[in-house]
Structures are given as structure tokens and as C-alpha cells.
Amino acid sequence: MVRTIAMEVGTLPQAVRRDFSGVGYDEAMRRAREVVPVLRERAQEAEDARVLIRENEQLLHETGLFRFHQPKAFGGMELDFVAVVDIAAEIARGCPSTAWNVGNLACHHWILGYYDPATQHEVWDANPDALIASSIALAAGRGRKVDGGFIVSGHWPFSSGVDNSDWNMLAVTVYADDGTTAIDWRLCLVPKSDYEIIDTWYAMGMGATGSKDIKVTEEFVPERRALALQRCRGGSQHPGAALAPGPLYRIPIVAASSHPLAPAAVGAAEGAYEKFLASMAKRMGTYTGARVADFQAVQIKVARARCLTDCARDLLRRSAIAFQECAERNEVPDLATKLRYRAHTAFAVGQAREAVETLWSCYGAQGLYTRDPLQRHLRDVMAISQHFSFNFDIAGQAFGLHALGHAYANPTM
């Protein structure tokens, strides 16, 4: 195990405090489009580094593209929930790994809005740009209740962007005194001084996410930093509602938690499509000398990839908008709806993967080179689709089980 040296870890310090509360959706999208060529140019460097590189982190701080779901009270944009789909997908056209980190780290600004107001002030008064990593594997963390909080231990995988973060949101199952009965489920906010970073991230795809392991041993987490997920299933029952009352902070966290990550696959498909068209516009068959773009089979695959990507984007956008509209009506989606929208994200990622695989199938031997952008996008969508949230057999089974009248039990949904 390799422990990251503390001085190498954490959010880049900013020379100025920026207020993005006046930035709307259209301007945020303009900024996202503007950074795509830069991120595309740096994508190989980022993959080689196996982390969110500092140049990209700084660019995202300066444009505010980490802070589109941060409450306006702390200088964030507080955009509607669909922004996490549109902004992350746009950025993924240039670098899917960076887009994954944007969706992931930005959604933690959203989730922090559910925490006790004192905790929100603790983090954002000190640094409104503070980055927060996470690991949402509830089974990986164990906690027990003590006076004023919890004692937490665990070894969590896949904490994306952890090298760049000052805090970590770690999912913990709290057990009764018998050590076997689960009684509570918490998302524990832990400062970087209280956890180890274990460098396990040698991956075939999504290399620049830096999704390393986290280890915590018998650390005390105060109650105000341990968010009760059962109070975040929709509505304003969570402790942060007094400070962040807007509809964005009435969306059910767990039910919507895969929406910030799935768009990286859709944007990867978009980027692959753009790369494919640019390449085929001038590609001549090595063996036949014929213009590859003239082959009917290639034309049909282009159409199929376009339709798959469009469908994937539409699925994600519609469910994200529906979550927002439900919160604006001060309503909580029922379990059937939550499970359906979770299935949407898994299905959309599958469609995005199929789109890239369709293009890859007629891209030719050029795609064998590991440094070819389309090959990177292929590996990235394959890696994204391995995430637990995007296993359609799991998400689909949960929906189908409930739809067919059987009991579905998940206390955090």
C-alpha cells in the first residue's frame, strides 16, 4: 500500500474568491463548450498521469464548472438538476475522465447542501472552491454510534478525484451493539487528514479519474458531518434545508446519484462520433483505395451510433428534468419512479457504449493504437459501464421486481 503524502493532496489554492451566483445555464454551457478543445488536447497527458491533472483542475475552478450545483448563498450557480447531465456530457466530448470528475465533484457540492448548516459553513467559509471526493459503497464502511457522533472504519474503493480533494464523503453502515444488525446509513464527511489514499488506480479505462482507494481506522465523525441518508429520500427533511431550501436540494440523493456520472459515457460517445466523422472524411481504404465514407455499411453504422447517443442523452435529460419538476412541486417521487429513473441511467450508459462499439467496428486498424482518441473513448465507456450503478441487470431487476408486485427493500431510496 502507498499512502499519498499530505502535502501533495488537496484542492489547488485560488488567489481570488470567485462568485458564480450570477452565472446561468446558457453561460455555464458556453463555458463547458469552450474548454472542450483544451481538455481534448490534454487527454493523453491526463491518462498518463492517472489523476485529474492540475492544469485541468485550475481551468475548471476558473470557469466555475465545479460549482454549478453549489448553493447560491456560497457563490455557486445552483442550476437546475439537468445541468449535471448537460455540462458533464459536453465536457466528456473532450475528455471523459475529466467529465466524470466534474460530474462527481460537482455533485458533492449539491450533496453538501443537505448537511447541517454548520458543516456547510465549515467547508465553504474556509474555501468555496473546496473539492470533495466520495465513495458510496455502503458495505465498505462500518460505524457505531457514540456520544456526539460515530466511530468509523473502512476501506473504500473508487474514490475519484481524491488527490485533488480536501474532504471525502464516505458511505457507512451503522451497526447496533451486536455488530451484525444494520440500524442506520450515513454519508460521513471526513477531512483529508483523517484518511489514507491507497494508490490502486491502474485501470484500462477512465485513467485520469484517479479513482484510488480510501482507508479509515477508528475515526470519530461528529453527528453534523454524518448525513442520514434516510432523511434525503426527497423533500426537506434533511438538516441542510434551513440553509439550502431550493428545489435542487429536495431531490432524492440516492435515487438520483447516478445521474452525475452517466453523462460521461454519453459525452464519450459524442466525442467518438466527432472523431470518427473527421477521420472518415479523408480516409482511403489501404487495400482497396476506395473512400471509406462511400461504403453503405459505414454510413448505416454512423446513423445507428447517432441514434443510440441521442436516445441515451434524451433518457438522462428527461429523468433529470422530471426530478427537478417534482421537487419544484414539493413532491417526492414514488419508489416505482425512482427505480425507473435509476434504470434509465444504466440503460443510457449501455446505449452510449453500444454507440462507440458500433463506430469502432468499422474504424479500422488505426484504432488499435492505444493513443488513438477513439480507442481511449472506447476503453472509457467500457470502464464506465462496469460501475455498479450502470449494470442494467441489477437496475432492471430492481425495477422489474417492484413493477411485478414484489417487495423491494432499500432504506436509502
What is residue 4's predicted lDDT score, i.e. its pLDDT?
40
Residue 103 amino acid letter = G
Q: Are 253 and 111 in contact (CB under 8 A)?
A: yes
State whether the Cα torsion 229-233-238-244 is positive or negative.
positive
Q: Write the DSSP assignment of 124-139 as a string of letters.
A: HHH-TT--EEEE--GG
According to DSSP, the residues that pair with 201 across neighbouring strands are: none
Q: Give which of 382, 359, 262 is closest to 314, Cα–Cα.
A: 262
Burial track 80-91 (b if 16+ CB lie within 10 A, e otherwise): bbbbbbbbbbbb
For 6-126, CATH number out of 3.65.10.10, 3.30.70.100, 1.10.540.10, 1.10.3720.10 equals 1.10.540.10
What is residue 292's predicted lDDT score, i.e. its pLDDT?
74
| Residues of the chain predicted below pLDDT 50 | 1-7
What is residue 6's predicted lDDT score, i.e. its pLDDT?
37
- Long-range pairs of 34-37 with CB within 8 A, sequence gap ≥ 24: 34/63, 35/59, 35/60, 35/63, 35/65, 35/91, 35/94, 36/90, 36/91, 36/93, 36/94, 37/94
Q: Does this model's pTM top 0.85? A: yes
Q: Which three cell numbers stand for residue 211?
A: 479513482
How far is it, in rounded angstroms, from Cα 68 to Cα 51? 22
Q: Which three cell numbers stand for residue 40?
A: 481534448
Superfamily for domain range 132-236: Butyryl-CoA Dehydrogenase, subunit A, domain 2 (2.40.110.10)
What is residue 188's predicted lDDT score, i.e. its pLDDT?
98
DSSP 13: P
CB-CB neighbours of 8 under 10 Å: 8
Residue 318: exposed, middle, or buried by beta-carbon count in 10 A (0-12, 13-18, 19+)?
A: middle
Dihedral Cα 392, 394, 395, 399, nearest 10 deg: 120
What is residue 77's predicted lDDT score, i.e. its pLDDT?
98
How far is it, in rounded angstroms, from Cα 201 to Cα 159? 10
**Between vectors from CA 229 to CA 228 and to CA 230, what angle results, nearest 5°?**
90
Largest CA distance in the chain: 76
SS3 category, 180: coil
SS3 category, 356: helix
| Residue range 253-403, CATH number | 1.20.140.10
What are the boundaries of each domain within the chain? Answer: 6-126, 132-236, 253-403
Please list the alpha-helical segments (H only) found in 206-334: 253-256, 263-280, 296-328
Find the radius of gyration of the CA atoms of the chain.
Answer: 21
SS3 category, 92: helix
pLDDT in tens, 34-89: 999 999 999 999 999 999 999 999 999 999 999 999 999 999 999 999 999 999 99
What is residue 286's predicted lDDT score, i.e. its pLDDT?
58
Q: Are 171 and 128 in contact (CB under 8 A)?
A: no
What is residue 363's predicted lDDT score, i.e. its pLDDT?
87
How far is it, in rounded angstroms, from Cα 241 to Cα 115? 8
